[in-house]
Structure 1
């Protein structure tokens, strides 16, 4: 049994003087007993960024910015480098921590701190040159991506053999105007367009300034071309370019998979503003090409040898004109039916009738998400195309992935401003705008009084495509709300010993809190479908969510598949959800999970406890690939992950228990089998009042998972209590911290943790302050959804 070891005589003096906080901290003369938790939490005597109470916890000197004098502040060592702030040379290799090179870019840690570069990024300004090359070789700025201000990145100029320090490297022509012949790299072309099943694989040559790979990408187009699609070869493409129009480019399509021996009748066409222009196309064997001077929508048509010049496709103006014509051309008894038929047409399958759609042939949606919780306004784009639900659910859809991430984001209550219509939508109104009926928002707390709750949105749309009619049932599940209930459920993994005690826990292999919520949600869905979608049409269920919403969606989708439902599920920041085997969990091939490698949340519950998730998962790092894009999207500089600490934190959490059932087991001598007598701690008190006040600081959600033994004392001593803590006690304390039920100060100082959890607690303190927030943002997951490809999933 561990007893609380006080860190200074000031604590003993505080006890003698009758301090009411059992875990009192050493105090300076200016600190008074009347100070609040918030005031104590904000004290930072040496102004090193590490508050005094954290310095007490880590035993550093709160009057010195750099306790061990290695050149790195205590804050940087604990929260960023994860080095020992009391040792100059943590790893004992003869090099001080300040002289080490954490990111291996050729510049020491202490020099990076002094010149303002990021010691955890080899290329701080992301201009294509490592910091050391900028400082030691090219003499460019490692914190400015364009040192000479000519519009080209320093790395671009080096690759193009220009000077990154001169705007005019060779002559009077400015570097950013000089043209270079180059071919777009495959990494800039959407994976599905290069797949073997695409009958027209695109490539692009250009005579362009700068590196075209920095300014051009090719994506699947969202345009819908009606009857022309029967003659289309392969998939239409969208050339997204940051260049101004007018530069010479050559667009080519390789049609090697064409069943025709030759492709003389193939022609490249350009769609713009409702009109199609047929380009002067060169044919060479099974390759077709045409000169272009702008980005936009392009595709290949089989014209059967007939060369076209131009054509007009449906526009919103044309729809309104057709409606007026219908009124004039038919008898009054047929007017309404004719007008309704014209006005309800949805050419591009985005759920918006052509008569109300500014671009009836283009199902793209561009808007600005107003994330008030973080004061972020992020411009996003996606395609709402209901034809995706007529494809095999196990086939990854990049467009469905993007819209799913936006729907999961908006489930938190955020709004999105539509660029085309000028309207602002919440999720309910957006679902209605995009063609869904009977849109509802349900919160399980209206029907249940425990912690296993969730809020979700549901709507449906009947769609006919290629002779098949389906009812699309959309379900978007909100992530964890601000209260203690859902956070407690997140950390309640469940013991199979009590499986039968919960009527809504229907699969003992699953995380208890997530499974109960999913079971309840499934009941709501069944009732909804019976009420609003009771016809004989085939049902397709579309299930999305972020964070806790992703975990519930992950299990719900598996339950729907088990029930024989056609299910399309895309989840983001998905925690682990089940202890089933990899083969059993992996057979749910229509569930696609997107995970940010930098994000702490998807690592829980720990794989060391036997947990994984259903379906297939794509894991990529924002820090490794998309940091600049993240900063542009969010307007935040800079992206802040816990680069070196997160894996250590997960490892320490993994040691807290060996299997899920151990989370609820006492191993002390007084209440368990005595196998691990390191889960008990004795807390000292100076009076009965001080003891009870200290016990009262334990949050209510954690109390069921500990055993408290009170001791009777004398005038000034002995009013102690023993607290035996199961691993679930520690996890529920974390739930209280994450939900702001308790402060960080209380977690660190006032709620003492038994030895068994001390290392995990220490790691969590470092990670929480070192950077867990940004990687979990919904904006991070929109970026990952945007770049996700079928080959990423395993």
Structure 2
């Protein structure tokens, strides 16, 4: 090797490093400019898919009232973007009944609407030819004034990156719609339905934002990431209800909240807020007219009042083989507002027959075999027990050394992809449609 060749090696090495550094700097600047530009577009309401115009003047609403059945289209995680459909029941009379009495028919319809909330996202992606599933579903049920505007800027990949960088991911996409319902004896109410999408994009990070009670100088806390999303929904509802009610008050207003996964957690908290507001001066609706059915619901609060009678109108439906409803851990003090109802689980009496019926319904709805493995209940139970032992409190989760390695070790006996099947909205729908009722 010549002396000149030896001198060139470090010279070229420095040039490569400088080139890489320049690429990183340019990419960072470009990203920063892109984020700033997108935030400016959001401020101006530009560069986004607009809500479907055919529903703007309620042209798609069936205007149906009373009791009826209809078919609703949506998508399933088990079949990808393919449209599937199922029949749902509806009865205006439901909303003149006691909201603290579990209504399996209403709950079953809500399980479908919570799945439709996830399907709606594709419509709001630029260049997509996906239908507006939620507008079509609510119109078929006779709803009017259907708004899915919150999906704007919350359904594109780049918007998820922007939210991650800007720290604005404590949000959800949701639908709000109204329907004028009439009872058999002629009583009337205006029903506001809120169906909330599950975790999407950077919102997964918000699922981890439990917050700190100490930051609020409190001993207890409601999950911060879910609560912020719920507050946005309640504020929008308050504005819409004020416009609807005018000077007549809110005695004839009725609320229905539903959602799956993150959407379920947000619906649970939003309904709890509405319940609490019914006892104060800023009433959204009477407590006797607030309904809530959630599915695959995470634990949301450490307040020991979560099971007070005030929240008896909230029903949370979970699959024992689903890991999501077990987080954050109950051993950390977390629970859900209202009543917990569990679907049949592996090891329960008569489970095999019930599971076979649910699988038949799943295949009828989706056209594919049900992938969920009920035996995963045993793995989920063990994982929850191990996590509670190794990470005794939520504070320990943040401070535990080698937490990634610990979780990796604890997951050794769990197939995360397989366990996820038990979380599918279409699995919950199949269970709800194959059962006559649920018991606490």
2:212 aligned with 1:480: no
Specify the alignment match of 2:175 in structure 1. 457
1:404 deviation in Å? Answer: 0.7
C-alpha spacing 1:379/1:520, structure 2 compared with 1 (3 Å) = closer
Map 1:278-317 → 2, pairs under 5 A = none
C-alpha spacing 1:513/1:583, structure 2 compared with 1 (3 Å) = closer
Is the partner of 1:571 in helix, strand or coil? strand
Specify the alignment match of 1:640 in structure 2. 372
C-alpha spacing 1:770/1:442, structure 2 compared with 1 (3 Å) = closer
Specify the alignment match of 1:371 in structure 2. 76
Map 1:591-606 → 2, pairs under 5 A = 591-606=314-329
Specify the alignment match of 1:438 in structure 2. 145
2:88 aligned with 1:382: yes
Name the Cα RMSD after superposition: 3.0
1:352 deviation in Å? Answer: 3.8
Counterpart CA distance in 2 for 1:557 and 1:659 is 27
Give the counterpart of 2:186 among 458, 461, 467.
Answer: 467
2:229 aligned with 1:517: yes
C-alpha spacing 1:533/1:520, structure 2 compared with 1 (3 Å) = same
Counterpart CA distance in 1 for 2:213 and 2:107 is 34
Counterpart CA distance in 2 for 1:509 and 1:361 is 41
Specify the alignment match of 2:384 in structure 1. 650
Is the partner of 2:147 in helix, strand or coil? strand
1:426 deviation in Å? Answer: 1.3
Give the counterpart of 1:615 among 320, 338, 342.
Answer: 338
Specify the alignment match of 1:550 in structure 2. 264
Is the partner of 1:626 in helix, strand or coil? helix
Counterpart CA distance in 1 for 2:368 and 2:179 is 38
How many pairs were matched up?
336
Specify the alignment match of 2:282 in structure 1. none
Q: Which runs of 4+ in 1 moved over 4 A?
A: 376-379, 444-449, 787-791
Name the structure with the higher helix share: 2
1:571 deviation in Å? Answer: 0.4
Is the partner of 2:331 in helix, strand or coil? helix
Verify the 8 A CA contact 2:298 2:324 in the aligned structure 1. yes
Verify the 8 A CA contact 2:148 2:175 in the aligned structure 1. yes
1:765 deviation in Å? Answer: 5.2
C-alpha spacing 1:464/1:620, structure 2 compared with 1 (3 Å) = closer
Specify the alignment match of 1:39 in structure 2. none
Specify the alignment match of 2:210 in structure 1. 493
Counterpart CA distance in 2 for 1:655 and 1:542 is 38
1:600 deviation in Å? Answer: 0.9
Counterpart CA distance in 2 for 1:781 and 1:584 is 24
Map 1:619-634 → 2, pairs under 5 A = 619-621=342-344, 624=351, 625-627=354-356, 628-629=359-360, 630-634=362-366
C-alpha spacing 1:586/1:507, structure 2 compared with 1 (3 Å) = farther
Counterpart CA distance in 2 for 1:477 and 1:400 is 16
Give the counterpart of 2:111 among 396, 405, 419.
Answer: 405
2:277 aligned with 1:563: yes
Larger of the two Rg values belongs to structure: 1
C-alpha spacing 1:638/1:438, structure 2 compared with 1 (3 Å) = closer
2:416 aligned with 1:758: no
C-alpha spacing 1:459/1:651, structure 2 compared with 1 (3 Å) = same
Counterpart CA distance in 2 for 1:460 and 1:352 is 13
Name the structure with the higher strand share: 1
1:768 deviation in Å? Answer: 3.6
Specify the alignment match of 2:31 in structure 1. none
C-alpha spacing 1:594/1:518, structure 2 compared with 1 (3 Å) = same
Counterpart CA distance in 1 for 2:245 and 2:140 is 19
Counterpart CA distance in 1 for 2:388 and 2:433 is 32
C-alpha spacing 1:425/1:441, structure 2 compared with 1 (3 Å) = closer
Is the partner of 1:438 in helix, strand or coil? strand
C-alpha spacing 1:362/1:392, structure 2 compared with 1 (3 Å) = closer
Is the partner of 1:475 in helix, strand or coil? strand
Tell me whether 446-455 or 491-500 shows the greater mean CA deviation: 446-455
Specify the alignment match of 1:528 in structure 2. 240
Is the partner of 1:457 in helix, strand or coil? strand
C-alpha spacing 1:493/1:407, structure 2 compared with 1 (3 Å) = same
**Cα distance per residue 1:219-276 (max 9 Å; x no partner):** xxxxxxxxxxxxxxxxxxxxxxxxxxxxxxxxxxxxxxxxxxxxxxxxxxxxxxxxxx
Specify the alignment match of 1:392 in structure 2. 98
Specify the alignment match of 1:784 in structure 2. 431
C-alpha spacing 1:492/1:765, structure 2 compared with 1 (3 Å) = farther
Counterpart CA distance in 1 for 2:192 and 2:370 is 39
Structure 2: unaligned runs, 5 residues or longer = 1-60, 122-130, 155-162, 279-284
1:495 deviation in Å? Answer: 1.3
1:373 deviation in Å? Answer: 7.1
1:552 deviation in Å? Answer: 0.4
Instruction: Provide the TM-score with structure 2 as the length reference.
Output: 0.68
